[in-house]
Amino acid sequence: MRKVNYIAIILFMLLGSGCETEPIIFSGPYFVRFTETSLSTKESNSKPILIEVHQAGDALDEDLNITYKISGNARAGIDYTIAGEAGRVTIKKGEYTGTISVSLINNANNIIRSQDLILTIESSSAGERKIGQGESNIGSMFTLTIIDDCILGGTYIGQRNSVNQAGITITSSDCETYLLSNWNVNLFDSDAPMDLIFIDNGDNTLTIPEQEEENIVEEFATIEGTGVVDPLTRVIIMTITLVDFEGQPQVTITYLPD
């Protein structure tokens, strides 16, 4: 039985049909919307959350002022602050995007839950700009979910012997046992992150249980230690004992919330 090359036939029909595809040109309706519709982040995120609003259409020769409603169970001044005039964002003349800047307040209390900050576009100063995209008004609402973090959770700067090391994180799933991403601050000549587990004793003291550091040779890998926490500033001072080294030397490292 003769085999038919269906792929070749289809390609021949497509190439030989002589049909040209007409370009699809957006002709409206023009609209304003949030570029994204949602975001989740921990309250320990210290960097401003930039929420973008954009317009579809020709750039205007005057500022485009957009008003939005604020709702949700997140509390202004307790869970977040909004830079500038809350409820209003401007797309500058000749531009296509504007930004709402939200800063989170780390009020960690060892209760893991979340709050929502909901922003809903209500109006724009350009009447021909529809609110939201399409029949279902996509992008007219933005939800920022703020996830509570443990008291000691977040990003830190490690300090030892006048050397600062940024980008160290502390995380926990139960607000009792924590994972610190890198305790090697100006100690070992290695770029490999050296994490450690520590326990919050609930009385402003910490315990670093005996554990093995996988990025140190096995015969010198055991570490343990203690720590203290300033409950107001959340500054952590850890004293780590190198158990397998002669004389069991101790290293003191300070971690500052970033």
**Cα torsion 100, 103, 104, 107: sign:** negative
pLDDT at site 113: 79
pLDDT of res. 10: 41
Q: Please write down the long-range contacts of 227-231, taking CB distance under 8 Å and 24 or more positions apart.
A: 227/198, 228/204, 229/152, 229/200, 229/204, 229/205, 230/204, 231/204
pLDDT tier for residue 29 given thresholds of 50, 70 and 90: confident
pLDDT of residue 13: 46
Specify the pLDDT at position 3.
Answer: 44
pTM: 0.67
Q: Dig out the tokens for 184 from the structure.
A: 């090697």
Residues 206 and 180: their CA atoms lie apart, in Å, by 12
Name the least confident of 99-108, 135-144, 224-233. Answer: 99-108
Tokens for 256? 């500052």
Q: What is the pLDDT of residue 9?
A: 39
Could you tell me the CA-to-CA distances from 131 to 29, 39, 53, 159, 248 in Å, in that order? 10, 20, 11, 50, 67
> 191-250, pLDDT tens digit by residue?
889 999 999 999 999 999 999 998 888 888 999 999 999 988 999 999 999 999 999 999
What do you get for the CA distance between the two ends of the chain, in Å? 74
DSSP character string of 41-89: EETT--SPEEEEEEEESSPPSS-EEEEEEEESS--BTTTEEESSSTTEE
pLDDT score for 228: 98
Q: Given pLDDT bands bounded at 50, 70 and 90, which one contains residue 12?
A: very low
Is the sign of the CA dihedral 237, 238, 239, 242 positive or negative?
negative
Helix (H) / strand (E) element for 10: namely: helix 6-16
Q: Which residues of 161-249 form beta strands (DSSP E)?
A: 163-171, 177-180, 196-200, 205-212, 222-229, 236-242
- In this structure, the strands spanning 141-147 and 38-42 are parallel
Distance CA 13, CA 78 (A): 65
Please give the domain boundaries of the chain with CATH numbers for all domains.
29-147 (2.60.40.2030), 154-257 (2.40.128)
Task: State yes or no: pLDDT of 122 exceeds 80.
Answer: yes
- CB–CB of 120/131 below 8 Å? no
pLDDT digits (tens, 9 = 90+) for 75-84: 999 999 999 9
- pLDDT above 90 for 158: yes
